Amino acid sequence: MTAGKPSPLAGTLAVQPAAAEAVADTHASVLAAIGWAVARDFRVALRSKGELGVQLLFYVIVVSLFPLATSPSRETLATLGPGVLWTSALLASLLSLPRLFASDYHDGTLEQIALSSRPLAALVSGKMAAHWLTSGLPVALMAPLLGAQYALEGPVLATLAVSLLLGTPILSLLGAVGAALTLGARGGGTLLALLVLPLYAPVLIFGAGAVDAVRAGVSAAPHLSLLGAGLLVALVGVPFAVAAAVRIALD
Amino acid sequence: MLINWFRFASPISFYPIAGSWSYAFGALAALFAGAGLVIALWIAPTDATQGDAYRIIFIHVPTAWMAMFIYLVMAGWSALALGFNTRLSAMMAQALAPTGALMAALALWTGAFWGRPTWGTYWAWDARMTSTLILLFLYLGVIALRAALEDPRRADRACAVLALVGAVNVPIIYFSVQWWNTLHQGSSISLTAAPKMAMTMLAGILVMTAAAWSYTIAVVLARVQAIIVERERGAGWLESLIQFPAGGSA
């Protein structure tokens, strides 16, 4: 498995003396668990850089196909651009979801993680954060470059990047629920698409809507505020749903 | 009077009740549907602007209502299944999903047939149509997840989590789609601005809705019976009720 820092999976059943200390201890333990999971999954992901590269390349290729299928005229491309860049981001996120739990599930690591004394919701939060760092973040950073190919300019490209930075974490969070629920299921990948893509619809609407708003000369603030609100709600609620789903998969 | 509801959470005590209620609601459904269709096809007046094409409303509106309502009921049973770990609640949720999907599909289909003569198009990315389409996808997702998991107990709980996550998302999807629609296209098409309808039309819709309710209850209870038989085959209490074919049971 992983080397380096002491793992919280090792015995942490320390006796907790006073209540106040116990609460402080719990907070520290939650943060430590998140930090450990982020660092561990990030390290594991970086060991297969090829896979990460392929996922980013997938995004680039899908985005590049649309002009071939429609027309190279600047007006058409500028109209299609926000939708294409966002829909492709959804597909790229979907493609990278199995990586989140599948290999840990197959080699038994996930079971060990679930057996840990640290809260499972915190540990899966760390995994989701690492997933976003290695899938959503690169896509969000790459998007303005591809947006320039779609005749999008200055403030529109900036809005595209901001909307993706706010929206892709929601994709990683919602996708994690689907990824955990489909562990060990028949037809994993296609099933995952059926479960997750309908749930992505509001993110797509507000994300692409923000970019469209700026293109139309209107403020993107309402769309971005809604994306931000969605992110906060997902951050609070989803880790518990994912923890429940992981426990169900391990039963 | 205090009723011990958990008594009915056991498939043993629920199985016979489901059977008799299923027949009762089936008969009610036939009664309501007969009366509703008489009102819909003969008594209700022809619409001034839409002619007789509007009459599909008597199927369209009840199925659209049921599609939304059944998802909530399914999520409710799912919450009970997760909270109390009762098998029967999960079986109810499992039994509701296909009927919910059917209702959503019927609402979309009849909507398309209604849209063609009145709007001039089968499909218009109207906010309600789009959110009903996504609702249909959510139902199909629950059904597909159920089919993909080997262990029925795991499938019960996984589908329950999915149904609950979906239920939280349904209002968000609805409002986001509505907002998206108003931003993208003007109000060239509007269902809400329909003129006031005649009393008989409203009565027809309500009676047909009662028929859809009764049909749903009857079919879902019958399906729950089938699920119980499928899962509990080999159980002694079931074998005393049903004659299994030789070699059929474990």
Domain boundaries, chain B: 53-188
B140: nearest CA in chain A? A194
**How far A150 CA sits from the closest chain B CA (Å)?**
20
Give the 3-state secondary structure of residue A22.
helix
Q: What is the mean pLDDT of chain A?
A: 87
pLDDT at B192: 52
Contacts of A207 (CB under 8 A, 6+ apart): A86, A89, A163, A164, A166, A167, A223, A227
pLDDT at A19: 62
Q: How confident is the model at residue A23 (pLDDT cuts 50, 70, 90)?
A: low
The C-alpha atoms of residue B152 and residue B157 are separated, in whole angstroms, by 9
Could you tell me if B50 and B194 are in contact, meaning their C-beta atoms sit under 8 angstroms apart?
A: no
B179 CB near a chain A CB, below 8 Å? yes
pLDDT at B30: 94
Tell me the pLDDT tens digit for each residue of A44-102. 888 888 888 888 999 999 999 999 998 888 888 988 999 999 999 999 999 999 889 98
Nearest to B176 by CA among A165, A90, A87, A203: A203
pLDDT at A61: 94
ipTM of the shown complex: 0.83
Mutate to test the interface with B, among A248, A250, A251 (most CBs of B within 10 A): A248
Could you tell me if B175 and B121 are in contact, meaning their C-beta atoms sit under 8 angstroms apart?
A: no
Quote the radius of gyration of chain B (alpha carbons, Å).
21
Q: What is the pLDDT along chain B (250 residues), one digit of tens a residue?
A: 556 767 777 888 888 888 889 999 999 999 999 998 888 888 877 777 777 778 888 889 899 999 999 999 999 999 999 988 888 899 999 999 999 999 999 999 998 888 888 778 888 877 778 888 999 999 999 999 999 998 888 999 999 999 999 998 888 888 887 777 765 544 344 445 455 567 788 888 899 999 999 999 999 999 999 998 888 877 777 777 776 666 544 4
**Chain A residues within 8 Å of chain B (Cβ atoms):** 174, 177-178, 181-182, 184-188, 191, 194-195, 197-199, 201-202, 205-206, 209, 212-213, 226, 230, 237, 241, 244-245, 248-249, 251
